[in-house]
């Protein structure tokens, strides 16, 4: 007979963080692991401890499905891994998520299909965007780099002292920082007396 293991993820945005902990306790969880959301990607140390503790036949109890996965794809991947380990998943406030029942498994199968459909749509839109960019003569979202002709143009505009750096950048289709990196903005060194003096005739 497996055990019920609870996992909670609370944040300061929750109106009552204790609510989900009380619900997990009332469900009869043997242990409850709790992470406090900090807004970073690595803010779930107790989740790893919970995974290490789960055994075949156990059921992971969560308050809501959004406490387990960051998005639908993440949720599907987590539940699939747990299912392979013989661990069920049950959400207390989303009754449709309960992989310990035949109906719950069926519903979750639909979730998996929706996640695959969403991923396919994103891929299709990305490929379409790249194709449209190539049709416009671009291979990506980055602005064109300075060519020798553009560098020469920018240098002449800068030396004329009639244009601002923003105007030069706009004329070349790049950012002001790109212009700064490619032109000479300090005056050329003036020739010194030593370099301009005529060589002395040999004595």
pLDDT digits (tens, 9 = 90+) for 141-191: 555 578 888 899 989 988 888 888 888 888 888 888 888 888 887 665 555
Residue 195: the pLDDT is: 45
Alpha helix positions (H), 9-101: 18-26, 45-53, 72-84
pLDDT higher at 18 or 105:
18
pLDDT for 50-87, tens place per residue?
Answer: 999 999 999 999 888 778 877 777 777 888 888 888 88
Residue 121 resides in a domain: no
The question of whether 170 is a catalytic residue gets the answer: no
Residue 72 resides in a domain: yes
Residue 192 resides in a domain: no
> Is residue 196 very low, low, confident or very high in pLDDT (cuts 50, 70, 90)?
very low
Q: Are residues 15 and 58 in the same domain?
A: yes
Residue 163: the pLDDT is: 86
pTM of this prediction?
0.51
Q: Are residues 150 and 92 in the same domain?
A: no
User: What is the domain-level CATH number for residue 81?
Assistant: 3.40.50.1390
Residue 2: the pLDDT is: 85
Residue 149 resides in a domain: yes
| Distance between CA atoms of residues 182 and 152, nearest Å | 9
Residue 127 resides in a domain: no
Residue 60: the pLDDT is: 92
Q: Is the pLDDT of residue 114 over 70?
A: no
Q: Is the pLDDT of residue 110 over 50?
A: yes
Residue 71: the pLDDT is: 73
| Tally of domains within the chain | 2
Q: Are residues 89 and 27 in the same domain?
A: yes
Q: Are residues 12 and 89 in the same domain?
A: yes
Q: Is the pLDDT of residue 7 over 90?
A: yes
Q: Are residues 84 and 162 in the same domain?
A: no
At residue 8, φ and ψ (nearest 5 deg) are -125, 145
Q: Give the torsion sign (CA, 159, 165, 171, 174).
A: positive
Q: Give the torsion sign (CA, 37, 42, 46, 47).
A: positive
- Selecting among 11, 91, 170, 186, the annotated active-site residue is 11
CA dist 134 → 55, 130, 139, 140, 177 (Å): 51, 6, 5, 8, 26
Domain of residue 72: give its range: 4-102+109-115
> Mean pLDDT lowest for which of 88-92, 118-122, 162-166?
118-122
At residue 139, φ and ψ (nearest 5 deg) are -105, 5
């Amino acid at each position: 007979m497996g055990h019920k293991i609870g996992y909670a993820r609370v944040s300061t945005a929750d109106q009552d963080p204790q609510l989900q902990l009380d619900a997990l306790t009332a469900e009869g969880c043997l242990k409850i692991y709790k992470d406090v959301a900090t807004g970073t990607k690595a803010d779930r140390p107790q989740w790893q401890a919970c995974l290490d503790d789960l055994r075949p036949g156990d059921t992971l109890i969560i308050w809501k499905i959004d406490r387990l996965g960051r998005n639908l794809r993440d949720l599907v991947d987590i539940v699939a891994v747990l299912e392979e380990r013989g661990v069920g998943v049950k959400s207390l406030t989303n009754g449709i998520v309960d992989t310990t029942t035949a109906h719950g498994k069926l519903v979750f199968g639909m979730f998996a299909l929706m996640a695959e459909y969403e991923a396919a749509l994103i891929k299709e839109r990305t490929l379409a965007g790249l194709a449209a960019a190539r049709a416009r003569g671009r291979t990506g979202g980055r602005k064109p780099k300075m060519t020798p002709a553009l560098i020469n143009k920018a240098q002449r505009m800068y030396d004329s002292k009639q244009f601002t750096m923003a105007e030069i950048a706009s004329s070349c289709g790049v950012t002001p920082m790109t212009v700064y990196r490619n032109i000479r903005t300090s005056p050329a060194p003036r020739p010194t007396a030593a370099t301009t003096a005529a060589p002395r005739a040999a004595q």
